[in-house]
Amino acid sequence: MTVINGTTPVYGVIGNPVAHSLGPLMHNRAFARVGHPGVYVAFKARDIGPAMDGIRALNIQGLSVTIPYKETILPYLDQVDDAARNIGAVNTVVNDGEKLIGYNTDAYGAIKALSEKTRIKDKDVVIIGAGGAARAIGFGIIKEGGRLHVINRSIKRGEKLAEFLGASFHPPAKFNYVPCDILINTTPVGMSPDIEGMPIPQEQLNSHMLVMDIIYNPVKTRLLESAEKIGAGIIDGVPMFVYQGARQFELWTGLNAPVDLMKNVVYEALGE
């Protein structure tokens, strides 16, 4: 059991909302497993600027960054890792004692999860969404040699992301005309409590696709259920969540993350 006192290193997730996050459960169990004396909490931030002032003043040692601050946090950091700067989004902050340094582990987590199931090089990969997670995953796909296509309801945002990544853009109505070996949903459509939602109609799926949803609650979204019913391969959101979190853990502590424990903790919490 971690002894909490005046010297305990504090870490946390910053976003709005954050009450649903499984980060505290996952990271605190991981800290306990390896004997790291830290504690990880959730910070609901209504305004990123004052929140970051507080992070500095309180000497918070590390942060996970979630919706809606992955892009807007950049100006409040002292340094940003090259990959995160290229992506244009940060999901991890390390306090090295003098500087707040931003990283992006979303791309790492997504590629690690995908690579367990398929080769990415020379595959047609369709990403639904145009937010910070889509930017990170798209960057990773391009780096791995995949052919990237962006689908998004907002044409302006979708076109902007596609141009940034060197990908093609298509509105949802044109999905059937886009070649697709791997489909990745990065939107919150289908997330609890609105679990009946799907980012594309069921009839646009086919058995030759590998379908990944970065939502992890529920573990099997309606999109994944529909894909599985027609014989498509599926990847739920837990592996990406765990792998990106494991990389955060290692950046903060310098220790090897107990990945299997972290994965089991998350699945157990979700009733799997």
* Residues 131 and 178 occupy one common structural domain: yes
CATH code, domain carrying 206: 3.40.50.720
Is there a contact between 136 and 71 (Cβ–Cβ < 8 Å)? no
Tens of pLDDT, residue by residue over 127-154, are: 999 988 899 999 999 999 999 999 999 9
Rounded to whole angstroms, the Cα distance separating 104 from 102 reads 7
Q: Which domain holds residue 259?
A: 10-104+239-269
Does the residue 97 lie in any domain?
A: yes
Residues 138 and 231 in one domain: yes
Alpha-carbon torsion (55, 61, 64, 65), positive or negative? positive
Residue 3 lies in a domain: no
**CATH number of residue 259's parent domain:** 3.40.50.10860
From the list 70, 123, 220, 263, the catalytic residue is 70
Q: What letter does residue 2 receive in the DSSP assignment? A: P
Same domain, 44 and 61: yes
- For the chain, list residues with pLDDT below 70: 1-2
Strand partners, 93: 63, 102
Q: What is the pLDDT of residue 1?
A: 61
Strands 147-151 and 10-15, bridge-based pairing: unpaired
Helix boundaries (H) for 123-237? 132-143, 155-165, 222-229
Q: 135 and 229: one domain?
A: yes
pLDDT score for 124: 98
The predicted pLDDT at position 193 comes to 87
Number of structural domains in the chain: 2
Give, in order, the Cα–Cα distances in Å from 73 to each of 66, 67, 132, 197: 10, 11, 11, 29
The per-residue pLDDT for 186 is 95
Specify whether 263 is catalytic.
no
Question: What is the radius of gyration, based on Cα positions, of the chain?
Answer: 18
Let me know whether 71 and 116 are in one domain: no
H runs (alpha helix) in the chain: 23-34, 48-58, 82-87, 106-115, 132-143, 155-165, 222-229, 238-253, 259-269
pLDDT digits (tens, 9 = 90+) for 197-229: 999 999 999 999 999 999 999 999 999 999 999
